A = this chain, B = another copy of it.
């Protein structure tokens, strides 16, 4: 089997390392016969991955990366993923049995784009990441025990999900089938809105004149609430731009909740404030003990 990675950064590199390092008996029998081809826009990243023994072969261009590949994984920032889907569609260089998947953080845009491009496609999203990016940050346990969402689309072949599931298992992750809409609504809530909030908090506070006295008092609460805002801006922008509607809905809901907090703080009734905080804590606790 020939596995082609379009992008060998944090995610692509971790996929390659995971396939190479697969340890369960099934996975080893399966993954041992995989040839991993790497392609990156400038070629430098793929060369580095080859030098590190993580990919077997560096493709000299996109056409040779996809030609003859059984499974092609687009592992690029969200907007670059969309462009690669278009490019693959225009090239008509796919083998008859080829299947394309991706790892982008939003699924509706890319599933629609793959359908428009007429390429055999199953959307994917491993729920794992780091703030650091690039091949240097990749590891063979990034996906271990994490969910990996799989999304069927109009151009998914009948056995498409099953074939990507095999890759997911090599990576030690758990496949989780959803529709593109379910996925995008869910990540808008638990991932994309938190990113916007983190950035907004940093702008509201750290951009203000009060920072000179506030900065020295910033502690672990500040650090954890601004962590997401320190992530890769290109990735973040691609995520927000391709998940506008679900995100707007979440931000609208949050606006209402924050207005209620403003009036509760204004009233300042300690009993009511404690009840509200207690019910939030209970809510979080109940969610985590299924």
Contacts and interface: CB of A to CB of B under 8 A. Distances in A.
Contacts of A183: 213, 217
Nearest to A271: B237
Interface string A248-285: 10111111111001101110111101111110110111
A137 interface: no
Nearest to A218: B190
Copies in the complex: 2
A287 B210 CA distance: 13
Contacts of A284: 202, 206, 226, 229-230
Contacts of A240: 264-265, 268, 273
A147 to B, nearest CB: 6
A118 interface: no
A136 interface: no
A273 B237 contact: yes
Contacts of A268: 240-241, 244
Contacts of A227: 221, 224
Contacts of A146: 219
Given A228-B221, A244-B266, A287-B215, A208 B253 contact: yes
Contact of A208 (B189, B194, B229): B189
A283 to B, nearest CB: 5
Nearest to A146: B219
Interface in A230-249: 230-231, 233-234, 236-238, 240-241, 244, 247-248
Nearest to A187: B217
6 contacts: A189-B214, A195-B221, A204-B250, A224-B227, A229-B281, A233-B278
A237 B270 contact: yes
